[in-house]
Amino acid sequence: MPQSMSEYAEASVQARKIAQEFDVGSDQLCRVMRHFVQMMRDGLINRRAYQLPSYVKTVPTGTEKGRFLAVDLGGSNCRICLVDLHGDATFTVIRNKHTVPAEARINQSYKHVFSFVADRIADFLKTHVDLGPGETQRYQLGFTFSFTYEQTSLAQGTLIRWDKGWDIPDAVGQDPCAMLQEAIDDLGLPVQVSALANDSVGTLLTRAYTSGQGRSTLGAVIFGTGTNAAYIEKLPNIKRIETNREAGGIMVINTEWGCFDEELKVLPSNQYDHELDANSGDSGSQMFEKHVSGMYLGELLRLAILQLHREGAIQTHFNDGSCLFQKGGIDSSFLSRLAGNDARNPELASAIVTDTLMAENVTAADVQSVQIVAAAIARRAARLAGASLAAIIVQSGRLGTAPSSGKLSNFRVQEYGTPIEAGRPFVSKFQRLFGSLRLLRRVLAFLGMGIVISVRPPLESPEPVTNPVDSPEEAIIDIGADGSLIEFHPTFEMDMRAAMREIPEIGPDGEKRIRIGLAKDGSGVGAALMAQTALQEK
């Protein structure tokens, strides 16, 4: 779809103004990226609700083999999978998908939801696994639990908080694996919950396994109902846990970046963001997720269309039962359809708006007004996604030597969740002065004036973060991706990449090295890979 508002010739003035409220400039992208890098480094040192260690210390090579069960619980769904790893970077999956009842997602007791999951596992085994009489083999199960938890080992963790509309108070502070195992044991199933997986960690492992090039895989991003990311961090940098740092090595980190910048220090926000947050069940939290993930983009569009409707800026009549008048009534898939090829045809675009919003007498101008606002909301989400992925790449050092603002020793933290920038404006000015003085020194030497000017670059680290590129494959920074937004919205990845090119630490050359590939079934296969790791460790 067009990226310029001038191409929506008939869109209303009010719609153009709303679209402008979702604009994110290059300077703001840089502020977001640098602030996120600081939060990442803060979370590596201090115990936060983000930058959570996964205890996964190896990355798949594609040679892993075995049959494993996987459960993926998150959003409103529960998926049960049987995964066969063939050892040649391929796998096969049998899966069932179930909707978790609302009364189980919002309940005082955790027993309802985990009993529901255990029942679905029992049904799955009866259908797809020939247990045989007196079956004693215990199937290893990887459990993808897509909520915020602090992991304490490969198979243990503590639930920190619910999100995505879930609320089960007595589960908070407990181990998800233990709660699921309790329900499985109540049914007498031959299943051992052996690994606790996050969806983004699982996607990273799946991407490394299927690419067959584990050395080049750096991270994974999820842009679906929710958003999250995982990446490979150097073990010596992870100071929030006790580990043998002197031995070196790596660990996969679950960023939980959906909760980044809850104070809205750098995230661009407008009246629609504030209204959405105020009406959510977790006001004041998951602020990055509320700007980027599919669960909220449709609601932002709904609020904006309501504003146009109230102001009389669109003439379309909406029936009383329209999803426009229902909180959460518009899905993010509506934004993808409005940006797709069908929507280039005015008649088809009008049909999309008419059918989705239960509208009558839809005018061409009204369709363009809805399209221009939807495009602006999706574009902002993608650009912020690009800035956040840039933060991971900068922190990793995979592009070469990190900028001086990137050394772990060059930032400090005041209070919980309030990292402060280490004099960034001063550093930039000093670096420019340093460059000028270096040039002056050369000029004076050329003139034979014998004047020596020596300036040490500020914030120099004796051990710069580097990752030398030894081969073309190592030059690639491989990122696994999953989620409906990045898979189905036609301009999402394009806008992400444009944002990264605008960030000096990445730039056009760096962006060309970034390979983003879909990792389908990432959470399920990744959980199976973690279960395989747990079995090997035994």
Backbone torsions φ then ψ of 178, nearest 5 degrees: -65, -40
Lowest mean pLDDT segment, chosen from 48-57, 353-362, 416-425:
416-425
The number of CA neighbours under 13 Å toward the Cβ of 536 is: 13
Question: Can you give the pLDDT at residue 527?
Answer: 93
Q: Quick check: 420 pLDDT over 50?
A: no
Q: Quick check: 80 pLDDT over 90?
A: yes
The mean per-residue pLDDT over the stretch 213-221 comes to 83
Lowest mean pLDDT segment, chosen from 160-169, 231-240, 361-370:
160-169
> Which carries the bigger pLDDT value, residue 316 or residue 470?
316
> What residues form DSSP beta bridges with 370?
none
How far are the Cα atoms of 222, 312, 408 from residue 94, in angstroms, in the given order?
22, 51, 44
Which percentage of the chain shows pLDDT scores above 70? 82
Q: Are 481 and 221 in contact (CB under 8 A)?
A: yes
- Of 114, 255, 125, nearest in space to 177 by CA: 114
Q: Is 285 assigned a catalytic role?
A: no
Catalytic residue among 42, 72, 175, 199: 199
Question: Can you give the pLDDT at residue 246?
Answer: 66
Q: Quick check: 1 pLDDT over 70?
A: no
- Of 13, 1, 7, 2, nearest in space to 314 by CA: 13
Question: Can you give the pLDDT at residue 438?
Answer: 39
Question: Can you give the pLDDT at residue 498?
Answer: 98
Q: Quick check: 450 pLDDT over 50?
A: no
Q: Is 199 assigned a catalytic role?
A: yes
Interatomic CA distance for residues 206 and 200, integer angstroms:
10
Catalytic residue among 12, 115, 146, 404: 146
Lowest mean pLDDT segment, chosen from 22-26, 87-91, 435-439, 458-462:
458-462
Q: Quick check: 395 pLDDT over 50?
A: yes
Structure tokens belonging to residue 166? 């879930």
Number of CB atoms found within 10 A of residue 487's CB: 15
Which percentage of the chain shows pLDDT scores above 90? 70
The whole-angstrom distance between residue 495's C-alpha and the CA centroid of its chain comes to: 16
Q: Quick check: 401 pLDDT over 50?
A: no
pLDDT band at 414 (very low <50, low <70, confident <90, very high): very low
Question: Can you give the pLDDT at residue 148?
Answer: 82
pLDDT band at 421 (very low <50, low <70, confident <90, very high): very low
Catalytic residue among 16, 67, 95, 161: 161
Interatomic CA distance for residues 186 and 181, integer angstroms:
8
Q: Are 79 and 71 in contact (CB under 8 A)?
A: yes
The mean per-residue pLDDT over the stretch 303-328 comes to 94
- Of 199, 197, 161, nearest in space to 180 by CA: 197
Structure tokens belonging to residue 245? 């740092």
- Domains belonging to the chain, first-starting first, are 52-257+520-537 (3.30.420.40)
Question: Can you give the pLDDT at residue 134?
Answer: 59
Interatomic CA distance for residues 507 and 503, integer angstroms:
6
According to DSSP, the β-strands at 317-318 and 359-360 are antiparallel
User: Over the chain, what is the mean pLDDT?
Assistant: 84
Number of helices and strands in the chain (H, E) = 18, 17
The mean per-residue pLDDT over the stretch 348-375 comes to 95
pLDDT band at 485 (very low <50, low <70, confident <90, very high): very high
Question: Can you give the pLDDT at residue 406?
Answer: 36
Q: Quick check: 459 pLDDT over 70?
A: no
Question: Can you give the pLDDT at residue 6?
Answer: 54
pLDDT band at 427 (very low <50, low <70, confident <90, very high): very low
Q: Are 109 and 168 in contact (CB under 8 A)?
A: yes
Q: Are 201 and 524 in contact (CB under 8 A)?
A: no
Residues 179-213: pLDDT tens digits? 999 999 999 999 999 999 888 999 999 999 998 75
> What residues form DSSP beta bridges with 161?
148
Q: Is 161 assigned a catalytic role?
A: yes
